[in-house]
Chain A
Amino acid sequence: MTGKQSARGFIDMQWEVVIGLEIHAQLACKSKIFSGASTAYGALPNTQACAVDLGLPGVLPVLNRQAVVMAAKFGLAVGATVARRSVFARKNYFYPDLPKGYQISQYELPIVEHGSLEIELEDGGSKTIGITRAHLEEDAGKSLHEDFHGMTGIDLNRAGTPLLEIVSEPDMRSAREAVAYMKKIHALVRYLEICDGNMQEGSFRCDANVSVRPKGESAFGTRTEIKNLNSFRFVERAIEYEVERQIHLIESGGEVVQETRLYDADKGETRSMRSKEEAMDYRYFPDPDLLPLELDEAFIESVRQTLPELPDAKKARFMSEFGLSAYDAGVLTASRELADYYETVVATVGGEPKLCANWVMGELLGAVNKAGLELPQCPVNAHQLGGLILRIVDNTISGKIAKAVFEAMWAGEGEADAIIEAKGLKQVTDSAAIEKIIDQVLADNPRQLEQYRAGKDKLFGFFVGQVMKATQGKANPQQVNQILRQKLQG
């Protein structure tokens, strides 16, 4: 069998894909992990690189408490062990964005070990992904390759930014699973408020370890590491490309080489990184400038107290408390902002959780996505949306009219009540008035009335339509139905 002959489906039957992710989450600290320089994004180059970040002769690192708290928070949230004793080590290699010639990281004794996370699969099932470890380390600076007369420019503002590197077990079996896992971690770190999750700014990114093996084989194939993937889409595409590349390579008699590869988003392919060609010998050893990090029970307990309700628990509660489906509860708890938004809407309405869920997931998210916004920037806040839904619940307006009101609210025309008032959208619920309009409609359409009475039941809808048209949609639909039916039977 050769690669050329094998159709994609056939390959899938023969090969199993094995993926592990190393996610780098920048911790949402104000200052660097080992210095008092700001971590704010977007400053002019090197204006936030202090003496410690630059690795000037004689400087020394001192550990940021908040980074430790955040790492511990993550550990507790994934049911991991938060180490009572962890050790910082130096990873030695030369690179211009690494000022000291070593990165301070954790190696043999990380702060978090043995956690796990459950992801939902497309078939509706779920799967547990093991989290081997998560350790604290410092970020590197950035190399800018625009042309400085054939030179590279180095900006060290990012150097020393606190990072939590979250290492999974090689438990994922498809690019989709990898993305589901990454999304779940993304939601989690934002729930915990330990990372802003901004992937464009590089606050949340990952390296993917990918290998393939014949189905049924227990030994792993040779893996490649794809570096610096900073969007969910890139993760999926890069892994898919890499899987195909490896399978094709093996099937054409070649061998996968263990190497570091870079994903080229423009070309949609991965390529070998020249700078990492030589086998690295990082010469890890305990950093003598830092002492072992020791956390006692009281510290860990105090961190535990600050843990918010986590996504899975929130989802379960939404299902039991609000009677939502697993799907709806899943969507609404995908981010902490959305869940909070939804709960505020329900509280404002004072019930009707399903109606609220439909509105949040339907109109609201539809409009947010269409506008390409993030929830916090959305022009209609939860109280305002709740106010609108209340008017549906108390029959002031119909659901259909409510959609028009929502559009007006989105356009910044004001609160629901003000729009309803200004535009005269209040529902007509006066039976006598409705009856009068129905009489007029029946009188105006004698031919249709005759046909209906002759058995053409379908024309019921026609009469409803005419009534609604005559009231500009404001007549209460239930009342219209009821009175019309009486009249037609009469």
Chain B
Amino acid sequence: MSLEKDDVEKIAHLARLSIDDADVPGYVENLSNILRLVEQMAGVDTDDVVPMAHPIEASQRLREDEVTEVDQRERFQRLAPAVENGLYLVPKVIE
């Protein structure tokens, strides 16, 4: 399947990626080629096959309900681009 410019722009928006206009044709071509590679799967009959999400057959382990973490706000917020009064700052969110 071939993608169009519109498709690439839509996907980039969904993934929240800014793409330079000049780069769009390159992405259109590359992504289309990748999808063509991927579509080799289409010809295989997999009607009775169970999808495999994990390479190992195991079930989820459970953790006891205990508080094990201590406050590390200061340490973590040193990594943040913008904080104030212990809050992470982002451009105004409109609900």
Chain A contacts to B: CB under 8 angstroms: 29-31, 35-38, 44-51, 54, 56, 62-68, 85, 87-88, 94, 96, 143-145, 148, 150-156, 262, 273-275, 281, 283, 286, 288, 290-294
Partner of B65, one of A65, A85, A151: A65
A30 near B95 (CB under 8 angstroms)?
A: no
Q: Which residues of A contact B66 (CB under 8 A)?
A: 30-31, 36
Interface residues on chain B, number (Cβ under 8 Å): 35
| Bound CA–CA A350/B37 (angstroms) | 81
CB pair B92 A44 closer than 8 Å: no
Q: Which parts of B29-60 form the interface with A (CB within 8 Å)?
A: 53-54, 56, 58-60
Assess whether B85 is interfacial by the CB under 8 Å rule.
yes
The answer for the CA separation of A47 and B68 in the assembled complex, in Å, is 13
Return the chain B residue nearest A68 by Cβ. B62
Of B16, B61, B68, the contact of A36 (CB 8 Å cutoff)? B68
A145 B69 Cβ-Cβ under 8 A: no
Contacting pair A291 B59 (CB below 8 A): yes
Interface string of B54-95 (1 = CB under 8 A from A): 101011111111111101110011000010111111111111
- In the complex, the answer to whether A36 meets B88 with C-beta atoms within 8 Å is no
Task: Specify which chain A residues have a CB less than 8 angstroms from the CB of B85 in the assembled complex.
Answer: 45, 148, 153
B14 contacts the other chain (Cβ, under 8 Å)? Answer: yes
How far, in whole Å, are A17 and B83 apart by their CA atoms in the complex?
A: 46
Cβ of B62 to closest chain A Cβ, rounded Å = 4
Residues of A within 8 A of B90 (CB): 96, 151-152, 154
Q: 20 A-B contacts, Cβ less than 8 Å apart?
A: A29-B65, A30-B67, A31-B65, A31-B69, A36-B66, A46-B76, A50-B69, A51-B69, A62-B63, A63-B61, A63-B63, A65-B63, A65-B65, A94-B16, A151-B84, A152-B89, A153-B89, A283-B14, A291-B56, A291-B60
Interface contact B86-A291, CB-CB below 8 Å: no
Asked if A96 contacts B92 (CB within 8 A), the reply is: no
One of A65, A94, A150, A273 near B92 (C-beta < 8 A):
A150
Min CB gap A447→B, angstroms: 78
Of B53, B67, B76, B89, the contact of A154 (CB 8 Å cutoff): B89
Q: Please tell me which one of the listed residues B63, B88, B95 contacts residue A64 in the complex, with CB atoms under 8 A apart.
A: B63
The CA-CA distance from A46 to B88 in the complex, in Å, is: 9
Residues of chain A lying within 8 A (CB to CB) of residue B67: 30-31, 36-38
Q: A63-B63, A156-B88 are in contact. List 13 more A-B contacts (CB 8 A).
A: A45-B85, A46-B77, A46-B86, A47-B86, A49-B73, A54-B76, A148-B87, A152-B91, A152-B92, A154-B89, A155-B87, A275-B93, A290-B60
What distance in Å separates the Cβ of B39 from its nearest Cβ neighbour in chain A? 19
CA distance A37 to B72 in the complex (A): 11
When chains A and B are docked, how far (Å) is the Cα of A262 from the Cα of B93? Answer: 15
Docked pose: A53 CA to B7 CA in angstroms: 33
Of B14, B59, B89, the residue contacting A151 (CB under 8 A) is B89
Among A51, A54, A145: residue with most chain B CB under 10 A: A54
B71 near A148: Cβ-Cβ < 8 Å: no
Considering the complex, give the chain A residue whose CB is closest to the CB of B59. Answer: A294
A154 to B69, CA, bound (A): 20
Bound Cα distance from A273 to B95, whole angstroms? 5
Could you say which residues of chain A place their CB within 8 Å of the CB of B58?
291
The residues of A that contact B89 with a CB separation of less than 8 Å are: 148, 151-154
* CB of A89, distance to nearest CB on chain B (Å): 10
Q: Which of B66, B87, B92 is packed against the most chain A CB atoms within 10 Å?
A: B87
Q: Shortest Cβ distance from B67 into chain A, in angstroms? A: 5
| Chain A residues closer than 8 Å to B93, beta-carbon distance | 96, 143, 145, 152, 275
Contacts of A283 in B (CB 8 A): 14
